[in-house]
């Protein structure tokens, strides 16, 4: 892990992997699990160390790299009469016997895809893939490790019962505050064995610089749905180390007439966050769903990206046009169709109603 530990001290920057026109990195579904085992100490994954190291290196360089997750799903499209009676209407596909004999690997691929809740050849960012895997496949049971009687026809992976996988997935969860305080010290722990953590130095410097910018700015830049997050943290008086919600609220309370430009994408809130990629200006966890939240918010407010209003005017519109957090933060229907479309966990809180009653920010006056 020495090479990894050294790389964990580097800042996240742009590279050829981060370009929006970069081709997805293709990976067999169950090889995603092999990567976890390698991080847990396995030095001889069945897929081959070179293949898995390449996957790990790619994700380590860019946690939002697009992964095309595959399985040999079309092998069984050969008609049984062509296969077993040599009818001859259709030739066998290339490498058919080798592909057919990999039925155990195919099963692992499909079971991994089932746990992920996606179809073969789906493209997803690496960070999202592994957050789902850690939640839905905490062990190798039912994938690489079987509860069925031992069988020569269905051999287990020789590493399935050695604990490599569970050594990584079994790590405890860390709070946002802990992740920010620990930074690169999380390297090798849980998902941070796969995803490179942002460094403490980088986050601390970003916090100082971004707060200074907020204090001096004559115009604020805030993504639309963060205007609601600001209300949900209105009781907090001390700033958070992992975002700038409190600082922005107090700036607007002090001066409700300050112009606020509604920006699609990460904003003044985000700079110190452990999930913010400064090289690419994106949130590696919520990049997908937050775009919809922003656009839904703008639609409710009758505004468009880039519009600028005073903080007072913005919150007057918010209080008048948004019925509840459910409308934006839970999509209005509360459907949880996939982890990357999950409603915000705080949408049932009463913070929004409280802020509306108190006319927060509109009336001015920081607490």
Poorest-pLDDT segment among 92-96, 181-185, 281-285: 92-96
Most confident of 19-23, 74-78, 202-206: 202-206
Residue 241: φ, ψ to 5°: -80, -15
58 in Cβ contact with 38 (< 8 Å): no
As a whole number of angstroms, the distance between CA 351 and CA 245 comes to 14
Amino acid 1: pLDDT: 42
User: Which residue, 247, 205, 209, is CA-closest to 226?
Assistant: 247
Q: Which pLDDT tens digit goes with each residue over 3-12?
A: 444 555 555 5
Q: Which pLDDT tens digit goes with each residue over 21-68?
A: 789 999 999 999 999 999 999 999 999 999 999 999 999 999 999 999
Phi-psi bin for 335: left (phi > 0), alpha (psi -120 to 50), beta?
A: beta
As a whole number of angstroms, the distance between CA 260 and CA 306 comes to 9
> Of all helices (H) and strands (E), which one includes residue 201?
helix 200-216
Amino acid 172: pLDDT: 96
Q: Stretch 159-163: mean pLDDT, rounded?
A: 97
Amino acid 54: pLDDT: 97
> CB count, 10 Å around CB of 128?
21
HSE-up of 206 (CA within 13 Å, CB side)?
28
């Amino acid at each position: 892990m020495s090479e990894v530990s050294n790389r964990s001290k580097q800042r996240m920057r742009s590279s050829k992997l981060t370009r929006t026109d970069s081709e997805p990195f293709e990976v067999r579904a169950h090889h995603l699990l092999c990567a976890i085992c390698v991080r847990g100490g396995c030095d001889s994954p069945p897929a081959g160390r070179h293949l898995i190291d390449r996957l790990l290196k790619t994700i380590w360089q860019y946690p939002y790299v697009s992964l095309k997750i595959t399985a040999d799903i079309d092998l069984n499209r050969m008609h049984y009469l062509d296969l077993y009676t040599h009818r001859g209407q259709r030739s066998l596909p290339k490498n058919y016997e080798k592909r057919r004999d990999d039925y155990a690997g195919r099963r692992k691929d499909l079971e991994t895809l089932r746990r992920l809740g996606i179809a073969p050849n789906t493209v997803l960012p690496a960070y999202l893939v592994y957050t789902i895997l850690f939640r839905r496949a905490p062990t190798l049971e039912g994938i690489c490790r079987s509860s069925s009687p031992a069988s020569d026809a269905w051999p287990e992976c020789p590493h399935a019962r050695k604990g490599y996988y569970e050594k990584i997935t079994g790590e405890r969860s860390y709070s946002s505050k802990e992740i920010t305080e620990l930074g690169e010290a999380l390297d090798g722990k849980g998902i941070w064995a796969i995803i490179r953590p942002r460094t403490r130095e980088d986050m601390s410097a970003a916090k100082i610089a971004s707060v200074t910018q907020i204090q001096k700015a004559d115009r604020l830049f805030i993504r639309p749905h963060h205007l609601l997050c600001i209300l949900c943290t209105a009781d907090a008086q001390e700033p958070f180390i992992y975002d700038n919600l409190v600082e922005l609220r107090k700036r607007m309370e002090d001066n409700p007439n300050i112009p606020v430009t509604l920006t699609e994408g990460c904003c003044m809130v985000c700079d110190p966050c452990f999930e913010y990629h400064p090289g690419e200006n994106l949130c590696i966890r919520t990049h997908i769903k937050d775009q919809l939240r922003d656009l839904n918010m703008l639609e409710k407010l009758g505004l468009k990206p880039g519009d600028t209003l005073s903080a007072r005017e913005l919150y007057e519109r918010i209080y008048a046009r948004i019925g509840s957090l459910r409308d934006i933060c839970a999509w209005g229907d509360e459907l949880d169709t996939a982890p990357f479309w999950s409603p915000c966990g705080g949408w049932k809180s009463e913070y929004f109603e409280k802020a509306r009653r108190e006319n927060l920010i509109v009336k001015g006056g920081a607490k």
